[in-house]
Structure 1
């Protein structure tokens, strides 16, 4: 490893993108992720890259479409309402099979909501918030170090599969400062981009970028190709952390910031003779279903703790498949659950 620095989460995302070879950023400011754009506005031109603060989120995502079509590593970032505005463009990019990275530092909603952290965009991210049968790879870091590592990996995955990769954090991760250790040399995938629209120099057939397939037979075949790619990604790119799950009394599942709180709850519970396990999805899609199947017969119950009204819990229920009861505890509006609050919920479940 190389240098170790104390940095804010949003700035680490921006630095990671530069280290991953991204030289094109298009975005629009919105709290609590604006530091990403602020950092890149200074750094990107120094490296000969392109930084554009677009006139809107809609403009920004279509600029991403253009740069991705040319085979460039390209980034956009926003927070919840801004990501909503990008949804049509994301569907077009997915339909055209273009690689791109999107960062969503989630804030609370619905509507304009507030600038405090939330996880209320889970459905939008993993179910495909735009129209059509498409998926994005959704990576959920839980530390500033992971913001760095998973941002670099998001670009590799995007290029590897010609897909949109999303980094989904929250306002706490974006704003907090932690030490981060950067590598001296990044592991950058050298993907074949012979499909890119870079100009033919009259030496080859034209490449085209499109998601328009008028004939139903052709469009169905294209969709089947996409679905086959998604199955491959499920097989190859699912990531999860399991902790303390063997012979656990209850297994808690959480992602991002909440998973950090749960790890402290595990220590508190241990002092009271309660064994709590944790399953932390690192990829929200593909969802680590197999990990829940592996431990489905171990605990008395599962508990999903989230900063929303209950979203990932639906995927947990499907993964557990009725073998054990699945409970939910959530906070909204920017409120964060305390360790005691979660432990009390665990005791309530175990005493039923």
Structure 2
């Protein structure tokens, strides 16, 4: 299949359609506006429906309704917009409905700015909504990965009956790279007998709900969800190990930042410094086991476009074995190889 040069946001839209998405509900916000723009133009061509809702809150509740019919449905937004959708995401998780949510992250808190950021790690991996729920979270580092992960997200959402998030910083949404649209690995999906498609006088009505007034019933439901999340943790962890076999300094970075770090690793190795990279591809489930695969590491250096939101997970994974250091830029500022190298040498100097 030939590759096509596409902007990240438009590639995400096409990937969703290729994956069978039929409904999109959203509201404009920079830097993801090309996604709804693309979907508004292309979805009707394949018999799908695009709706620009009056707000992000409306959009996520429309996702709830469409997902309840068993259709493949997606929404997208950027940081403050995703924050507004958190209550609805909790409802969707509680009702066990499949849906895909794309977040092209920008700086914050509040309205912040429109430049790229990774400051939604907490919101994505912990969830801003209420209750005992989790959402699988994919973090692409390239436009091609964004395409692949959006397609995979629909499969995972249907397989586990859960909302799935794909988070990328705004740079991935705005950059252009060559991509190809390969069908994802198909999962053995069950018939959606739970969907509200009309009874046709052949069965009892399906009721989709996340309200449980009896505390015992709610506890049973939460334990059922927890069992599902444990299956996701067991089966869906993804990560990349880059030159970690002999690395004494191991970086931890994801998304666009990991691309900058890879260049840094090469530069440090040219100077005789054995550096490597652990790249989480799923932010949840987090790849804790990757930290058991760095036998020569003496220091960990987390690099993010935030003030250090991934550090807690790295510390849990590290279990106190190695010193954990941090270098970050935030508010729309992007880490540079020079800045990372300077921090790396500070870490190594302090360790020797």
* TM-score bracket for the superposition, by shorter chain length: over 0.9
Q: Does the residue aligned with 1:77 lie in a helix, a strand or coil?
A: strand
Matches within 5 A, 1:110-129: 110-129=109-128
Partner residue in 2 for 1:207? 206
**In structure 2, how many angstroms separate the alpha carbons of the residues matched to 1:338 and 1:294?**
27
Partner residue in 2 for 1:347? 345
Could you give the per-residue CA deviations for residues 279-324 of structure 1, whole angstroms, max 9, x where no partner exists?
00000000000111332x5211101100111111110001000000
Partner residue in 2 for 1:17? 16
Partner residue in 1 for 2:223? 224
- Extract unaligned runs of 5+ from structure 2: none
**In structure 2, how many angstroms separate the alpha carbons of the residues matched to 1:203 and 1:155?**
29
- Structure 1 residue 52 displacement after superposition: 0.1
**In structure 2, how many angstroms separate the alpha carbons of the residues matched to 1:243 and 1:72?**
38
Could you give the per-residue CA deviations for residues 26-75 of structure 1, whole angstroms, max 9, x where no partner exists?
00000000000000100011111010000000000000000001101000
Partner residue in 2 for 1:337? 335
CA contact (8 A) 1:101 1:155 kept: yes
**In structure 2, how many angstroms separate the alpha carbons of the residues matched to 1:282 and 1:170?**
14
Matches within 5 A, 1:227-266: 227-266=226-265
Match status 1:27 vs 2:26: yes
Partner residue in 1 for 2:289? 290
**In structure 2, how many angstroms separate the alpha carbons of the residues matched to 1:60 and 1:261?**
35
User: Which of 298, 313, 322 pairs up with 1:300?
Assistant: 298
- Extract unaligned runs of 5+ from structure 1: none
Partner residue in 2 for 1:312? 310
**In structure 2, how many angstroms separate the alpha carbons of the residues matched to 1:242 and 1:341?**
22
**In structure 2, how many angstroms separate the alpha carbons of the residues matched to 1:23 and 1:216?**
36
- Structure 1 residue 186 displacement after superposition: 4.8
Could you give the per-residue CA deviations for residues 111-139 of structure 1, whole angstroms, max 9, x where no partner exists?
10100000000000001111111100000
Match status 1:8 vs 2:7: yes
Partner residue in 1 for 2:178? 179
**In structure 2, how many angstroms separate the alpha carbons of the residues matched to 1:58 and 1:93?**
13
TM-score, with structure 2 as normaliser: 0.98
CA contact (8 A) 1:101 1:164 kept: yes
Partner residue in 2 for 1:81? 80
**In structure 2, how many angstroms separate the alpha carbons of the residues matched to 1:187 and 1:309?**
36
Q: Does the residue aligned with 1:86 lie in a helix, a strand or coil?
A: helix
**In structure 1, how many angstroms separate the alpha carbons of the residues matched to 2:104 and 2:271?**
36
CA contact (8 A) 2:248 2:297 kept: yes
CA contact (8 A) 2:148 2:184 kept: no
Matches within 5 A, 1:143-154: 143-154=142-153
- Structure 1 residue 12 displacement after superposition: 0.6
RMSD, aligned CA: 0.9
CA contact (8 A) 1:119 1:170 kept: yes
CA contact (8 A) 2:5 2:179 kept: yes
- Structure 1 residue 188 displacement after superposition: 4.1
Q: Does the residue aligned with 2:150 lie in a helix, a strand or coil?
A: helix
TM-score, with structure 1 as normaliser: 0.98
**In structure 1, how many angstroms separate the alpha carbons of the residues matched to 2:13 and 2:181?**
13
Q: What is the number of residues matched between the two proteins? A: 349
**In structure 1, how many angstroms separate the alpha carbons of the residues matched to 2:131 and 2:202?**
36
Q: Does the residue aligned with 1:304 lie in a helix, a strand or coil?
A: strand
